[in-house]
Amino acid sequence: MANVRAIRTHIKSVESTRKITKSMKMVAAAKLKRTQQSMNALRPFAAAARDMLARLGEDAAASSGAYTAPREIRRVCYVLFVGNRGLCGVYNTALVKFMEGRLESEEHECFLLVVGRWGREQLGAAHLPVEETIDDIPDAPSEEDAQRLAERIKAIYRAGEADEIILVYEEYLSALRQEPTALRLLPLAAAAEQGEKTPLILEPDAETVTDALVELVLDSTVRAVLLEAKTGEHTARMTAMTAASDNTEQLLDKLRLELNHARQSAITTEISEIVGGANALEEGKHE
């Protein structure tokens, strides 16, 4: 019967969908593990770099290199960290919505630097002032990838293309919660430590030490944000793919039931046909 065949085909296609979502879930889980490890490993480094800069405090402001000196803000650059692809729930769309909200209340002229391949394909429709898209950062970024991104961001600031740089990404609050957030990277505001402090010896001199430390803080911040965004992306994809796999499972159960019904009724029809035929023959004999 055609109906049975149609259901069988449907079951087959759902089964292959399930295979795909299941393997995407496993791939996301493996990538998640790697980025999460790197993210956790980086934390003490980033924290120590910020501590040191805070300890430097006023000295840092005094020698004020290119990154710490306050500037008159004319142009703002938003660095938007989206995923490399979709299929991760509301991860990307939540970011775009958040970004649109930010831009509405932004008084200065501004433009976007988008990090993530998804941006190249999907952001056109969102009418955001995208000036550049970096789409070759892999799912599990290495130190070099992060460094390349940090250099690009610093270059934009140094060249005066923007006077303020804000990173927009999904903050990784827990495996179940990620929230879009904005973090000002530049100009770098060094939170000075409070209280009397013994003056520091700076070797070889204040400027060199401050510059080295500022670079460290900027680089590690960009790297931390990138890893956090990626960890969030993989988590979101894993959740989405788990839900999709569960859905296919339910759909398969329903289809199997339907298939059994269809098969059953086909058999019943066939039997009643045979019985009917036999009866007709019987009746014919008696006459």
Partner 1 sequence: MAGRIRLQVVTPSGTALDRRADYVRIPLPEGSLGVLADHAPMLCTVAKGTLRLRDEDGESSLAVGRGVARVENNEVTLLVEAAGEE
Determine the Cα–Cα distance for residues 250 and 14; give it in Å rounded to an integer.
10
CB closer to partner 1, 41 vs 271: 41
The 65-104 site mask, x for binding partner 1 (CB under 8 A), equals: ----------------------------------------
Number of residues in contact with partner 1, rule: CB under 8 A?
26
Decide if residue 176 touches partner 1 (CB under 8 A).
Answer: no
Residues 135-164 that bind partner 1 (CB under 8 A): 143
| 230 binding partner 1? (CB under 8 A) | no
Q: Does 62 help bind partner 1 (rule: CB under 8 A)? A: no
- Token pair 């505001």 in the structure block, residue: 189
Does position 284 interact with partner 1 (CB under 8 A)? The reply is no
Give the dihedral sign, CA 129/227/143/43: positive
Q: Enter the tokens of residue 189.
A: 């505001």
194 near partner 1, judged by CB under 8 A? no
The pairs formed by 17-25 with CB atoms below 8 angstroms and a separation of 24 or more are 17/244, 17/248, 18/245, 18/248, 18/249, 18/252, 21/241, 21/244, 21/245, 21/248, 22/241, 22/245, 24/87, 24/237, 24/241, 25/237, 25/238, 25/241, 25/242, 25/245
**Which of 9, 23, 208, 279 forms a contact with partner 1 (CB under 8 A)?**
208
Contact flag: residue 204 with partner 1 (CB under 8 A):
yes
Distance (Å, rounded) from C-alpha 141 to C-alpha 76?
26
Question: Which of helix, strand or coil describes residue 159?
Answer: coil
As measured in angstroms, the least distance from the Cβ of 231 to partner 1 is 15
- Residue 195 binds partner 1, judged by CB under 8 A: no
Round to whole Å and give the CA distance between 172 and 178.
Answer: 5
d(CA 106, CA 129): 13
Q: Taking the complex as a whole, how short is the minimal distance between the CB of residue 185 and partner 1, in angstroms?
A: 17
Question: Cis omega before residue 44 (within 30°)?
Answer: no
Nearer to partner 1, 205 or 287 (CB): 205
Among 26, 200, 275, 278, binds partner 1 (CB under 8 A): 200
Which residues of this chain interact with partner 1, rule CB under 8 A? 38, 41-42, 44-45, 48-49, 52, 55-56, 143, 197-204, 208-209, 212-213, 216, 220, 223
